[in-house]
Amino acid sequence: MQEIIQTITVIALPVIFAITLHEAAHGYVARAFGDNTAYMEGRVSLNPVRHIDPVGTLLVPAAIMIMSHLSGGPAMLFGWAKPVPVNFGNLRNPKRDMRWVAAAGPAANLFMAVGWALILKLLIISGNQEIFFFEMAKAGIMVNLVLMALNLLPLPPLDGGRIMFSVLPHRMAWQFAKIEPYGMIIVLALFFFGVLNVFIQPLIYLGLRLIQFFFGI
């Protein structure tokens, strides 16, 4: 149990920042393209409380960590935040602008992964020996890369699905959109059958390689 508490302590801040900026970025870009829905509901905010889902953000990841600890196997954290409300019909060009609104979340996570990498590099340069901050910075990189990769899966209602809808020809896009009611069921099935990692690992690996190349860490 002490190991679980230590892990939660290390990843808590990176996870809170990751989901908060991810969701706020969607709302901010939606507003920039003409939809004020998220802004009117107070979701264009850096207040984590506005974005945390009690089940998806807290209970599910905690349960996964506990089960992983009891089984002795590796844990791939999985969860979700409250989705930012976006009325795509309010966007100036709904089908085109949808891609930018959707891409804002993963882009925010990539930006944060780079930020945590910069912090880790500064810790190394400064000779800081505090292991807690090293572990938090490394967790910040991984949490954000995982969240970015997961959301870029081309399945609606994930961000990757919205981007895919935006770039497909109209007829194909509307056929593709019919998957949406089953999108999260598919994602959960991929996770529980242990194959989700196969789809997101290449993006995570690419992100880590780029960080290694630019920061030498």
User: Comparing C-alpha atoms, which of 193, 116, 180 is closest to residue 148?
Assistant: 116
C-alpha 57/C-alpha 111 separation (Å) is 21
- Tokens 């910075």 — which residue? 137
Q: What separation in angstroms does the CA of 73 have from each of 16, 67, 171, 202?
A: 25, 9, 45, 21
Q: Are 184 and 87 in contact (CB under 8 A)?
A: no
User: Comparing C-alpha atoms, which of 109, 110, 130, 134 is closest to residue 121?
Assistant: 134
**Cα–chain center distance at 47:** 17
**Angle between the 131-151 and 196-215 helix axes, to the nearest 10 degrees?**
130
C-alpha 205/C-alpha 199 separation (Å) is 11
* Length of the chain (residues): 217
C-alpha 160/C-alpha 150 separation (Å) is 9
Q: Are 158 and 167 in contact (CB under 8 A)?
A: no
Active site (annotated) includes residue 23? yes
Q: Which of 23, 41, 135, 180 is catalytic?
A: 23
Residues that are catalytic: 23
